[in-house]
Chain A
Amino acid sequence: MAASSIPLGKGVKRKRHEDDGGQAAAEYTPQTFHCGTLLDISLLKLHQNCVLAERNLHRSVLIANTLRRLQAEIRWENGHNTMPSEMPLQPPEQLTSGANQLEPLSKMGEEITDLNNNIAKAPPPSLIEAPFCLLSGNDSSLSSAISTILQDLDYVEDLSTPLGQAPPEDDHLLPLKPVSPDPRPEPRSLDSIFTAFEIADSDDFLIDGSLDAIFEDIDTSMYDVPQGFPAGACPTIQPNKASRGIHSAKPHNSRTDFELENLMDLLVG
């Protein structure tokens, strides 16, 4: 595809190169799919992610956001004329540097602040318009999909940490973040997946103990012996390993030897 300096979708058709030989234009046949199927797929992925040892937060966030859109779509399809007002909203005047705002799925025309308190755009009308919906299932299949969601969300809720448990403040440097309003039951259980990523006292190990503060201006990492969990540098890995066992036997000599080796390093280059 040719480079384009025109923003996408501004009414300009992208054309193939002239020298392509007049081949038939690209046929983009969008895949039709059931919302319910997508919901099932998304939930399965989310559960797999929670179970996986890796616990990819990025992936979980993307899938969860997709799920929220699907939920909104299904709700609209079920005859809700208004936008889902139960979705948790952050008041625009609330300065939450660092707090994430939800997708602007709120009432039409209302200004929503995003990650850095910028006014986000109004939700695109295409999300709620009929032509956008690719559903082809009937009401009963939707109901069963929703039931599946609720059951699965209950399952996820059991596995996660108790709801309403606010994570501890992370760092004294950070501004205090305002408490969010009570979320709805459904997104709460969906969101509880993220509470599983919360680690209690996660940053305790970032703050040194009082004893270490005495030495905070001295980098002693070069002298740390790699036992268990090294906090600094390791001694140089020498190609000749014969002397390694001797170091532990005579500690006073090991330091002298280490200094000597450093000197030799300098000489040898």
Chain B
Amino acid sequence: MAGVGVVGGSGGANDLQWCFSQVKGALDEDVAEADIISTVEFNYSGDLLATGDKGGRVVIFQREQESKNRPHHKGEYNVYSTFQSHEPEFDYLKSLEIEEKINKIRWLPQQNAAHFLLSTNDKTIKLWKISERDKRAEGYNLKEEDGRYRNPVRITTLRVPVLKPMDLMVEASPRRIFANAHTYHINSISVNSDNETYLSADDLRINLWHLEITDRSFNIVDIKPANMEELTEVITAAECHPHQCNVFAYSSSKGTIRLCDMRAGALCDKHSKFFEEPEDPSSRSFFSEIISSISDVKFSHNGRYMMTRDYLSVKVWDVNMETRPLETYQVHEYLRSKLCSLYENDCIFDKFECCWNGSDSAIMTGSYNNFFRMFDRNTKRDITLEASRESSKPRAILKPRKVCTGGKRRKDEISVDSLDFNKKILHTAWHPKENIIAVAATNNLYIFQDKVN
């Protein structure tokens, strides 16, 4: 990928162009609430792509291998496994419903033939094993073939069960259930680089778990005040460092990020590093705090940088520099003048996620009107693309979109007032090695690929 701009643009012989590849999900205009995708995640190899939805289901797509029989389907993602991860529950103590919506999915690094992932709703985290079965045992001694038990008294001979081939079956089984550790809503889970532990974060606490132990977790961050009346800040996201298993970061609703070292103490309330950008007095408003609330924090693959997403921008931080971000990218600055309306219709509380590409040279995040934005950190180019059915022809090149903020509007541009704020792209994912991206647009999952000129 050296020398090739990751973000396409007008001109540039080496620029990338993004093409439509696939779209998953129903075509109906009426969207069922349960079908709304709530999380998207590639596994470490990129061969598997998992989605979670508001109905508590997980759908895993697998990338097809190249085959002579289907030469045009190389690299297509097809359904590999579907299962119900979480069910709606009722908390009798608080008389509250616990939503089954999958907030996050995180894959574990693959260590054998089976695949493992963590999925979480507001309260409970589950470890799922996804395994393939293409053989079954026949000829049990104690059981008939239909499962009925044989009378042991009548067994006179013994035989060794025989393995016989069967149609490939992909099974998803819950291996661990990590429950009863979060009073507030879980917003993040993150697998540690030691492959033994992971953290889970809710609004006020972060817990550290061992993957083998379900009946206890260690509380490592607690910002709950002695008196809840003093509460002014909550935890919004948390992530483990990709290489240093003792380091993790968490963001807050006041736009700050704290880097913590678990070696410093059992409780990591004292941070090792504190990241905050000085506020611009000229742009301060009643909504300053709300739009500064960080909705996502992601370490770069190399561990040197952190990326944060607030309502209007994406910021890249050097983990060694706390005073200000290294880079700031405006996602949809034209919304700054509309904050009052966005506050009224609750859009200002939307939590957009962000992601890195495999080489950390580009970042991607979503916006409204099914737009999503990509920023190339090297060339400083940016592009706005749209996930829409209209541009969903196979291998069709995506045309860059532009929002007109005032003055004359060009033919291809869309004015700010025409944006559809119900079509929001909150969840995106980038293949860890290739230029393949997955974009969740309400109940549809779009997959786009690169087409190098």
Contacts and interface: CB of A to CB of B under 8 A. Distances in A.
B278 interface: yes
B453 interface: no
Contact of A27 (B10, B226, B407): B407
A8 B280 contact: yes
Contact of A24 (B173, B212, B407): B407
A250 B147 CA distance: 13
A79 interface: no
A69 B286 contact: yes
Nearest to B148: A246
A250 to B, nearest CB: 7
A56 B185 contact: yes
B123 to A, nearest CB: 12
Interface in A24-60: 24-31, 33, 38, 41, 45, 53-59
B203 A99 contact: no
Interface string B251-269: 0111010100000001101
Given A70-B286, A100-B233, A231 B214 contact: yes
A98 B223 contact: yes
Contact of A3 (B143, B222, B256, B382): B382
A231 B234 contact: no
Nearest to A102: B232
A3 B375 contact: yes
Contacts of A179: 226-227
Contacts of B282: 9, 126
Interface majority SS (helix, strand, loop, mixed), chain A: loop
Nearest to A62: B290
A248 interface: no
Interface in B92-114: 93-94, 96-97, 99, 113
Contact of B171 (A45, A73, A98, A237): A237
A268 B215 contact: no
Task: Give the size range of A's interface with the partner.
Answer: 35 or more
Contacts of B256: 115
Interface string B337-353: 11111011010010000
Contacts of B226: 96, 99, 166-167, 177-180
B377 interface: yes
Given A38-B286, A61-B231, A268 B341 contact: no
Nearest to A215: B215
Interface in A89-106: 90, 96-103
Interface string B376-405: 010010100000000000000000000001
B177 A232 contact: yes
A116 B270 contact: yes
Interface stretch (B39-47, B320-328, B439-447): B320-328
A196 to B, nearest CB: 9
Contact of A2 (B10, B233, B382): B382
Interface stretch (B18-26, B131-139, B418-426): B131-139
Contacts of A234: 173-174, 177
Interface string B213-232: 11110010011111111111
Contacts of A187: 229
A113 interface: no
Given A4-B327, A197-B228, A28 B337 contact: yes
B32 interface: no
A115 B229 contact: no
Interface in A238-269: 239-240, 242-243, 246, 250, 253, 256-257, 260, 264, 267-269
Contacts of B253: 58, 61-62
Interface in A212-245: 212, 216, 219, 221, 229-234, 236-237, 239-240, 242-243
Nearest to A131: B282
A5 B236 contact: no
B447 to A, nearest CB: 26
Interface residues of B, number: 110
Contacts of B327: 3-5
A30 B284 CA distance: 12
B95 to A, nearest CB: 8
A57 B234 contact: yes
Contacts of B230: 88, 90, 99-102, 180, 191
Interface in B141-194: 142-143, 146-149, 161, 163, 169, 171-177, 179-181, 183-185, 187
Nearest to A239: B169
B293 interface: yes
A233 B284 contact: no
A205 to B, nearest CB: 5
A1 B346 CA distance: 25
B283 interface: yes
A58 B332 CA distance: 23
A69 B173 CA distance: 50
A242 B223 contact: no
Contacts of A90: 230
Interface of A: 1-5, 7-10, 14, 19, 23-31, 33, 38, 41, 45, 53-59, 61-62, 64-66, 69-70, 73, 88, 90, 96-103, 114-118, 121, 124-127, 132, 166-167, 170-171, 173-175, 177-180, 183, 187-188, 191-192, 194-195, 197-199, 202-203, 205-206, 208, 212, 216, 219, 221, 229-234, 236-237, 239-240, 242-243, 246, 250, 253, 256-257, 260, 264, 267-269
Given A132-B284, A231-B179, A253-B142, 17 more contacts: A3-B382, A8-B280, A26-B406, A27-B406, A29-B337, A31-B337, A31-B341, A58-B187, A64-B232, A73-B286, A96-B225, A173-B219, A179-B226, A194-B231, A231-B214, A236-B171, A246-B149
Interface of B: 10, 93-94, 96-97, 99, 113, 133, 135-137, 140, 142-143, 146-149, 161, 163, 169, 171-177, 179-181, 183-185, 187, 203-204, 212-216, 219, 222-234, 236, 252-254, 256, 258, 266-267, 269-271, 274, 277-287, 289-290, 293, 324-330, 333-334, 336-341, 343-344, 346, 349, 375, 377, 380, 382, 405-408, 410
27 contacts: A1-B333, A3-B328, A3-B382, A7-B278, A38-B343, A56-B185, A57-B203, A58-B293, A59-B349, A61-B232, A66-B343, A100-B225, A114-B233, A116-B271, A121-B278, A124-B284, A167-B227, A174-B267, A178-B226, A188-B229, A197-B228, A206-B216, A231-B214, A242-B147, A264-B137, A268-B137, A269-B113
- Shortest Cβ-Cβ A-B pairs, 8 listed: A9-B280, A24-B407, A191-B229, A177-B226, A27-B406, A1-B330, A243-B147, A242-B147
